[in-house]
Chain A
Amino acid sequence: MNNKDLFNAINDIDEKFITDAGKYLKDDPLSPYEPTEAHPAERLFSPLKTAASVAAAAILICGTLFAVKLFQPRLSAEPSSANETANSSETYAAELGGAAGSGQTNTSDHDSAPVTDHTSPEITEENFEKPQTDDNWKSGDEPVGPLPFTLIGPDYQQIHYEEITDIENGTSKKDLNDTNWNVITCDGFAYIAPATGMNFNSADNPEQINNIMNDNKFENDNAEFSRIYTGEHYNDLVVDSAKCEFWRIPANGMNERQMNEKGFPQELLYYGSSVHFRGTVTIEAYLVRETDDSGNDVYYIVPRSGAAQLPVIDIAHTDAEKYRFKANTSKRSIGMFEYSNEMPAITVIDDIDLGTDAFNVDRYFSEFKNYLKVVARLDDIDLSYRADRQFEGISASVEILDIQLSDNALEPLKVSEIIDDAQTLEDLYSISNEINDMYDGFGNKFRVYSNISSISDDIIGDEITYGELRSGMIIAMYDKYKKLSGLYTYRAE
């Protein structure tokens, strides 16, 4: 068999798979085929077709009228006073179960970033740039200055003609009005907010993370989005490319019900940004391993508490209908590792098998632990946010990964109570049956015993996995020199 055979075999796959994936090509299944003189690439790849456009126009004419009404007072973006900042932090700490009080404060470079009062971040008449009229067009073909209709990004600033690099469907800038476009692209800048250090995880902040997970209180109202342009710096990183988009209708031709389900406002305009950084950033983090449904391992970098080095790009849509651009926050469990961050975990994109290639990290993971404390130097950093995102939006390559072995020494995770009256293996044999030996990633050997009465016959002799541990099992832990280092009973939580 050669690659051609495989190609041909793939060519014959089930039509369902073809049509499923084909949905990404058919933005509108009823989109007309137009054999015109237009450039074929435009015709063949045009993501928004007439039918959708007509429907969208109807929605958005209304939406735009409504939006104009909404563009009322915008709060001043002046930095707040020190008191306001302190109050904001206190409230925040209280919501998070006392993070500030327990010394878990942010130590990132962006602590000192001005905290803006976003209790009402809307637009005021005086701050909102007046739409331009024909009179302030520059001489020449291309108009300049603010657009004649409302189009703002998360920095609450009006988009200008000269910032637009592409208008889908070929509408010229001169003819642009509030209804004759679908997608406006501004290549050259993106919207980001400095990280505030709101990172919590089950390893560093077990109490806070419990509160967050249980009480559902984790928001970042303080994020202040601004533009970052190609060539600008963010700490030591340089923006290689940046782009943002505005959509008059949500992506993928969603209907009204789908829009509502996703929480999209009808008048969604700011659609997303993407930034690619040149340079490296070193981050104290946890490397977390997740095994997906297909058995493939995916690795994430989750910054340690207070160690956020990358900006926030995700927008929460809940208040977008009021043109409040609030930072989105992530809350997620990856196996036993839970985290809640103001930015999603960073997906490690290296096209390498971390278990066997460059970093050989898999040996450090164990049945007991799917995360490692690391210092990672990241490059090829890509941040993206789109309103219809299906993937988390930060990815990076790992250039250097320093696994902090001393910090990763295996703790008796979910194992407790040294059995004082069973100090030797012989003692254990007298009260239990051996089941299996287990090894963690550090050469420590586990021998799992159980009270005979607490284990069913069908488990004996099987390989024990973490999930099969039951309360009452007794575990003997050996160090790498095969010396018995402790006896534990397992206590289910």
Chain B
Amino acid sequence: MDICVKSGVTFMRDNTAPENISDGEIVELFFERNERAIAYVSRKYGSYCGTVVQNILKDPQDAEECLNDTWLKAWESIPPAKPRNLGGFLARIAKNISLNRYERDHAEKRGGGEIALVLDELAECVADKGNVEKNYERKILTEAINEFLKTLPRIKRDIFVLRYWYCLSAAQIAERVGVTRSNAAVTVTRTRRALMGYLEKRGLL
């Protein structure tokens, strides 16, 4: 068992944690303030969240730190939060922490990497469109994107999310999903353009 103390919380990385422990049981441990919850989430979701972090922060040490911060943030958030979807909850925390780290590291100069590329690609959707009220609520935009994603076939939706949420490169998507790199790239491009059309139709661009 590895032990890591961070912000007063002792993390136990327990590789003997039961493999079949459910998300509900882990959340209960959080509520009981049982530190084994950390050990269990790191065992169950370490690889998954690690991938999320690693795609934003290329530096392994930064990624490792962000992953630890993710468990800490989960520890601080649950309770009161009671996530129904623990994996998604943790992935979102991991991503937000990594983005904050990325922004901090790139405050003065926007560097390379997938985040920069993703931002560049998304700029196409909004370029030269000045007809949107500046204070348009992000929530409305997110809702529209959610609606758009519902219209997509599952595989295309997953590819889009892998690109623009998980920030995977076309090559990584190809490898993960089992398509050619070209297929992945074309699917991303077409879906992005379809999103642009969808948002335009709804007056959001």
Q: Which of A18-42 contact B (CB under 8 A)?
A: 18-35, 39-41
- Whether B85 contacts A16 by the Cβ 8 Å rule is yes
A296 interface residue (CB < 8 Å to B): yes
Q: Which of B27-35, B74-82, B149-157 contacts A (4 or more CB under 8 A)?
A: B149-157
What is the chain A residue whose CB lies nearest that of B71?
A: A33
What is the chain B residue whose CB lies nearest that of A40?
A: B60
- Whether B126 contacts A30 by the Cβ 8 Å rule is no
Contact of B194 among A32, A251, A295 (CB under 8 A): A295
Given contacts A20-B161, A26-B47, contact A40 B63 (CB under 8 A): yes
Complex Cα gap A37–B136 (Å): 47
Complex Cα gap A19–B91 (Å): 8
Q: Which of A261-269, A319-327, A388-396 contacts B (4 or more CB under 8 A)?
A: A388-396
Q: Which of A288-332 contact B (CB under 8 A)?
A: 292-296
Q: Which of A44-52, A94-102, A124-132 contacts B (4 or more CB under 8 A)?
A: A44-52
Contact of B51 among A2, A3, A8, A45 (CB under 8 A): A45
- Whether B183 contacts A391 by the Cβ 8 Å rule is yes
- Whether B15 contacts A21 by the Cβ 8 Å rule is no
Complex Cα gap A358–B144 (Å): 32
- Minimum Cβ distance to chain A for residue B53 (Å): 8
- Whether B123 contacts A388 by the Cβ 8 Å rule is no
Contact of B176 among A25, A51, A351 (CB under 8 A): A25
Q: Which residues of B contact A389 (CB under 8 A)?
A: 178-179
- Whether B88 contacts A21 by the Cβ 8 Å rule is no
Complex Cα gap A49–B151 (Å): 34
Q: Which of A133-141, A168-176, A187-195, A379-387 contacts B (4 or more CB under 8 A)?
A: A379-387
Digit string of B149-182 for contact with A (CB within 8 Å is 1, else 0)? 1011111111101101110000001001111111
- Whether B120 contacts A21 by the Cβ 8 Å rule is no
B146 interface residue (CB < 8 Å to A): yes
- Whether A10 contacts B64 by the Cβ 8 Å rule is no
Complex Cα gap A3–B132 (Å): 13
Q: Which residues of A contact B101 (CB under 8 A)?
A: none
Q: Which residues of B contact A28 (CB under 8 A)?
A: 47
Q: Which residues of B contact A40 (CB under 8 A)?
A: 50, 54, 60, 63-64
Q: Which residues of B contact A41 (CB under 8 A)?
A: 54, 60
Q: Which residues of B contact A51 (CB under 8 A)?
A: 19
Complex Cα gap A274–B136 (Å): 46
- Whether B119 contacts A4 by the Cβ 8 Å rule is yes
Contact of A46 among B47, B60, B67, B92 (CB under 8 A): B47
> Chain B binding site: helix, strand, loop or mixed by DSSP?
helix
Interface residue count on the B side (C-beta < 8 Å):
79
Q: Which residues of A contact B146 (CB under 8 A)?
A: 13-14, 17
Given contacts A10-B145, A13-B165, contact A20 B126 (CB under 8 A): no
Interface residue count on the A side (C-beta < 8 Å):
66
Complex Cα gap A1–B141 (Å): 10
Given contacts A3-B120, A33-B47, A347-B183, contact A19 B164 (CB under 8 A): no
Q: Which residues of A contact B72 (CB under 8 A)?
A: none
- Whether A6 contacts B153 by the Cβ 8 Å rule is no
Given contacts A26-B48, A347-B183, contact A21 B64 (CB under 8 A): no
Q: Which residues of B contact A25 (CB under 8 A)?
A: 47-48, 51-52, 166, 176
Contact of B87 among A2, A26, A252, A349 (CB under 8 A): A26
Complex Cα gap A218–B156 (Å): 30
B9 interface residue (CB < 8 Å to A): no
Q: Which of B119-141 contact A (CB under 8 A)?
A: 119-120, 122-123, 125-126, 129, 132, 134, 136, 138-139, 141
Given contacts A19-B88, A29-B48, contact A6 B126 (CB under 8 A): yes
Given contacts A11-B165, A32-B43, contact A293 B153 (CB under 8 A): yes
- Whether B157 contacts A19 by the Cβ 8 Å rule is no
Given contacts A3-B125, A25-B51, A26-B47, contact A20 B154 (CB under 8 A): yes
Q: Which of B9-64 contact A (CB under 8 A)?
A: 13, 15, 19-20, 42-48, 50-54, 60, 63-64
Complex Cα gap A296–B191 (Å): 9
B7 interface residue (CB < 8 Å to A): no
- Whether B19 contacts A30 by the Cβ 8 Å rule is yes
A459 interface residue (CB < 8 Å to B): no
- Whether A33 contacts B136 by the Cβ 8 Å rule is no
**CB within 8 Å of B: which residues of A?**
1-35, 39-41, 43-46, 49, 51, 251-252, 274, 292-296, 347, 349-351, 380, 382, 384, 386, 388-391, 393, 395
Given contacts A13-B146, A384-B180, 15 further A-B contacts (CB under 8 A): A3-B122, A5-B138, A6-B141, A10-B122, A10-B145, A13-B142, A15-B85, A17-B157, A18-B91, A21-B161, A25-B48, A25-B52, A28-B47, A380-B182, A382-B180
Can you list 16 A-B pairs with a CB-CB distance of less than 8 A? A1-B136, A11-B95, A16-B88, A21-B159, A30-B20, A32-B15, A33-B43, A33-B47, A44-B54, A294-B152, A296-B190, A347-B186, A349-B186, A351-B185, A382-B182, A384-B179
6 closest A-B pairs by beta carbon, nearest first, are A33-B46, A15-B88, A40-B60, A21-B161, A3-B123, A9-B141
